[in-house]
Chain A
Amino acid sequence: MNQLSDRKFIIIGVFILVGLAYISRLFYIQVIDDSYKLDARNQAFRYTTEFPIRGYIYDRNNKLLVYNEAAYDLMVLPKNVKNIDTLDFCELLGITKDQFLKKMKKAIMAPNSPRKESIFEKQLSPTDYASLQEVLYRFPGFFVQSRTLRKYPRKIAAHMLGYIGEADKHTTEKDTYYNEGDYLGISGIEKTYEKVLRGKKGMHIIMKDVNNRDMGSYMNGLYDTAAISGLPLTTTIDADLQEYAEMLMQNKIGSVVAIDPSTGEILAIVTSPTYDPNLFVGRERNKNYVQLSLDSIGKPLFNRSTMASYPPGSTFKLIMALIGLNEGVLTSQTRYPCARGYPPLGGHPKCHPHGSPLDLEGAIGASCNSYFSYVFKSVIDDKKYHDTYKAYANWREIATSFCLGTKTGSDLANELRGNVPSIAYYDKIFGKGSWKASTVISLGIGQNELGITPLQNANLVAIIANKGWYYTPHIVKAINGNPNDTILDRFKVKHYTKIKDTAVYNTVIAGMARAVEAGTAAALKIEGIPYCAKTGTAQNAGKDHSVFVCFAPKDNPKIAIGILIENAGFGATYAGPIARLMMEKYLKGKITRPDLEKKMLETDLIHKDKNAKVTKQQ
Chain B
Amino acid sequence: MQRSQSNNSIFYNVDWITVLTYLILIFMGWLNIYAAVYNEEHYVITDISQKYGKQLIWISTSLLLAFIILIIDENFYTAFSYLVFGIILFANIAVPYLGREVKGSRSWFRFGDFGIQPAEFMKFAANLALAKFLSNQNIKIADYKNTFLSLLIIGVPCIVIMKLQDETGLAIVFAAFIFTLYREGLSVNYLLLGFLAVVLFILALLINNLYLFIIIGSLCTISLLFIKRNAKNLFIIAAIGLTACSMVRGTTYIYDHMEDHQKIRIDVLLGRGTVDLKKEGYNVNQAKIAIGSGGFVGKGYLKGTQTKYDFVPEQDTDFIFCTVGEEWGFVGSSVVIILQLFLIIRIIFISERQRSPFSRIYGYGVASVLFFHLTVNVGMTIGLAPVIGIPLPFFSYGGSSLWSFTILLFIFIKLDSKRLQILR
Contact = CB atoms under 8 A, between A and B. Distances in A.
| A and B part of one assembly | yes
B289 A43 contact: yes
Contact of A31 (B184, B295, B348, B364): B295
Given A7-B182, A15-B371, A37 B305 contact: no
B289 A26 contact: no
B305 A40 contact: yes
Contact of A30 (B330, B352, B364): B330
B333 A30 contact: yes
Interface string B338-366: 10010011001000100000000000100
Contacts of A37: 292-293, 295
B11 interface: no
Given A11-B348, A30-B292, A40-B292, A215 B309 contact: yes
A179 B382 CA distance: 35
A333 interface: no
A25 B382 contact: yes
Contacts of A218: 305
A35 B182 contact: no
Interface stretch (A16-24, A170-178, A361-369): A16-24
A208 B293 CA distance: 16
Interface string B168-179: 000000000001
B296 A30 contact: yes
Given A15-B345, A30-B295, A30-B325, A36 B184 contact: no
A287 to B, nearest CB: 39
B367 to A, nearest CB: 8
Contact of B291 (A23, A36, A209): A36
Contacts of B329: 30
Contacts of A351: none
Interface in A101-123: none
A36 B337 CA distance: 21
Nearest to B303: A219
Contacts, number: 110
B54 interface: no
A494 B292 CA distance: 63
B311 A29 contact: no
A40 B290 contact: yes
Interface residues of A, number: 37
B379 interface: yes
Given A4-B185, A11-B183, A19 B341 contact: yes
B122 interface: no
Contacts of B295: 30-31, 37
Contact of A209 (B289, B292, B310): B310
B183 A30 contact: no
B306 interface: yes
A21 B364 CA distance: 22
Nearest to A33: B292
A226 to B, nearest CB: 23
Contacts of B183: 4, 7-8, 11
A19 B291 contact: no
A39 interface: yes
A45 interface: yes
Nearest to A34: B292
B142 to A, nearest CB: 11
A12 interface: yes
B330 A210 contact: no
Contacts of B334: 23, 26
19 contacts: A7-B182, A11-B348, A12-B345, A18-B371, A19-B337, A25-B384, A26-B330, A29-B292, A30-B329, A30-B330, A36-B292, A37-B293, A39-B289, A40-B290, A41-B293, A44-B309, A208-B309, A210-B311, A218-B305
